[in-house]
Amino acid sequence: LEIDAGLTYLDNEPLGRVNTVPLYRERYRLVTSPGAKYGDRDQVTWAEIAELPLCLLTPDMQNRRIVDGLLAASGTVQKPTLESNSMIVLFTHVRTGQWSSVMPAMLADSLGLTSQLRSIPIVEPEITHSIGLVVPHREPTTPLTAALVAEARRIAPRLEQDAGLGRDPALATLLG
């Protein structure tokens, strides 16, 4: 059996001819050490983030383009001191205490934060982007694709609820 499907941002860049199922709204967090500038705060602004030594995804990644746009909208431009195409690599560098990063909340809150790392909500403005399932627009739809779309629609309300509460939607759904 084979299926063409993916998860992506639904409201940021053109998707082409696909059917979509919105799953949840992605929120953003500053991941940093407690001793870093703003590391003791309960929330930070996009303008404040631009003052930090950041490690970010590479510019070819859609998440990075979103972050760059949000920083620009706050009137700032940030040149990261380290770039990678892997969130795990960014997380590893943040753990050294020398960098901070911007990550999706569900990822930041599920990476095993310890007393040495904080996940701080980014506000002013608090922006969200829709994440969802995409499948090719085809008629008739294959049974496997139809089943996947039906399951995505079934779990979407729970994913959105968990994402809004700062819990990893996928993990919370699996654990019930």
Reported as a single tens digit per residue, the pLDDT across 51-87 is 999 999 999 999 999 999 999 988 888 789 999 999 9
Mean pLDDT of the chain: 87
User: What pLDDT does residue 93 have?
Assistant: 94
Beta-carbon contacts of residue 161 (< 8 Å; ≥ 6 apart): none
Integer Cα distance of 40 and 42 in angstroms: 7
What's the number of CA atoms in the CB half-sphere (13 Å) around residue 99?
20
How many structural domains does the chain have? 2
pTM score: 0.81
Residue 1 lies in a domain: no
User: What pLDDT does residue 66 have?
Assistant: 92
Residue 39 lies in a domain: yes
Would you place residue 97 in the very low, low, confident or very high pLDDT band (cuts 50, 70, 90)? very high
- Average pLDDT of span 147-159: 93
Whether residue 116 sits in one domain with residue 33: yes
Residue 34 lies in a domain: yes
Q: Is the pLDDT of residue 23 over 50?
A: yes
Residues spanned by the domain of 164: 6-24+130-175
Q: Is the pLDDT of residue 140 over 80?
A: yes
